[in-house]
Amino acid sequence: MSVQSKPNIQLPSGAIRPIVILISGSGSNMRSLVETAEREDWAERLKAQVVAVISNRPDAKGLDWARSAGLITQVLDHRGFDSREAFDAALMRLIDGHQPALVLLAGFMRILTPDFVEHYQGRLINIHPSVLPAFPGLHTHRRALEAGCGFAGATVHQVTAALDHGPILAQAVVPVLPGDTEQTLAQRVLSQEHRIYPQAVAAWLQSH
Ligand code: GAR
């Protein structure tokens, strides 16, 4: 049911606050978080370190990079569970094995149960590819184009029981350009996601 690769790094002991990242796909936000944490020496400066990456999809591309970066990777395939509740309960057990101070959703494409959200209340953060509260849910770029928006963007927010709501920690805005497709717009937004997600997490760590 769950598959785990061995880490090839020594985790610092003591006061380091573990961070767990959840992904479902390419994991570019995960990579940006991990690389920023390294570059800015979060372990020393913010007493925090990304320790594990968990995916609900065995074929998530981001897992390869996470493994090569020496992170613990774990897969919990949601298709092996009868209910959302059962999957989330197993996921909580997996996450809690790392005793995380912070759980980061980075393209984790699952609707979370209220129990899960409550369990991590105050230490669960998400990035969403729209300027919330506009366009919660899926296909944000397509919907922004269809609506004729002049701007699109991304939001880092604390997770609450309501889908894609919760206190906003950071936002970025990009222009919608003539001839944009879903893909070109998504790429422009994504490059901003890679900037604001690590910034917002660093700010959260600084203030907690
Ligand atoms: C990102 O654009 C992220 O904002 C979005 O999925 C993409 C994941 O890309 N998340 C959601 O839509 C969550 N509702 P990545 O795997 O390369 O980080």
User: In the chain, what are the helix, strand and coil shares in percent, each to the nearest 5?
Assistant: 35, 25, 40
Of residues 9 and 110, more confidence is placed in: 110
Q: 107: CA distance to ligand 1 center in Å? A: 3
pLDDT digits (tens, 9 = 90+) for 38-77: 999 999 999 999 999 999 999 999 999 999 999 999 999 9
Whether residues 102 and 48 share a domain: the answer is yes
Quote the Cα angle for 17-166-161, to 5°: 90
> Is the Cβ atom of 69 under 6 angstroms away from ligand 1?
no
Cβ neighbors of 6 (< 8 A, separation 6 or more) are 72
Q: Of all atoms in ligand 1, which is nearest to the CA of residue 60? A: 16
pLDDT digits (tens, 9 = 90+) for 70-106: 999 999 999 999 999 999 999 999 999 999 999 999 9
Confidence (pLDDT) at 9:
43
- Contact yes or no for 180/136 (Cβ under 8 A): no
Provide the 10 A C-beta neighbour count for residue 73: 24
Name the band, by pLDDT with cuts 50, 70 and 90, for residue 15. confident
> Is the Cβ atom of 24 under 6 angstroms away from ligand 1?
no
The CATH number given to whatever domain includes residue 169 is 3.40.50.170
| Closest residue CA from atom 17 of ligand 1 | 28
Identify the DSSP state of 204.
H
Out of 128, 138, 140, 194, mutate this one to test ligand 1's pocket (max ligand atoms within 8 Å of CB): namely 128
Whether residues 40 and 94 share a domain: the answer is yes
Strands lying side by side in the sheet with 17-23: 2-5, 72-76, 48-55, 17-23, 102-105, 124-128, 151-158, 168-175
Domain count, the chain: 2
Domain that holds residue 97: 1-6+14-120
Of residues 75 and 163, more confidence is placed in: 75
> Is the Cβ atom of 180 under 6 angstroms away from ligand 1?
no
Residue where a domain stops, chosen among 120, 135, 170: 120
Residue where a domain stops, chosen among 101, 120, 139: 120
Confidence (pLDDT) at 12:
47
Q: 14: CA distance to ligand 1 center in Å? A: 32
Confidence (pLDDT) at 180:
98
128 is catalytic: yes
Closest CA to 117 of 160, 169, 85, 88: 160
Q: What is the biggest distance separating any 2 CA atoms in the chain, rounded to whole angstroms? A: 53
Residue where a domain stops, chosen among 78, 94, 120: 120
Q: 97: CA distance to ligand 1 center in Å? A: 25
Whether residues 99 and 113 share a domain: the answer is yes
| Dihedral, CA of residue 131, residue 132, residue 137 and residue 140, to nearest 10 | -20
Provide the 10 A C-beta neighbour count for residue 76: 22
Q: Is the pLDDT score of 4 beyond 80?
A: no
Instruction: Quote the percentage of the chain above a pLDDT of 90.
Output: 92
Q: What is the pTM assigned to this prediction?
A: 0.94
| Closest residue CA from atom 9 of ligand 1 | 107
**Residue written as token pair 């849910």:** 137
Whether residues 45 and 88 share a domain: the answer is yes
Closest CA to 171 of 205, 207, 140, 129: 129
| Closest residue CA from atom 16 of ligand 1 | 27
Q: Which residues of 154-169 are buried (b: 16+ CB within 10 A; e: fewer)?
A: bbbbbbbeeebbbeeb
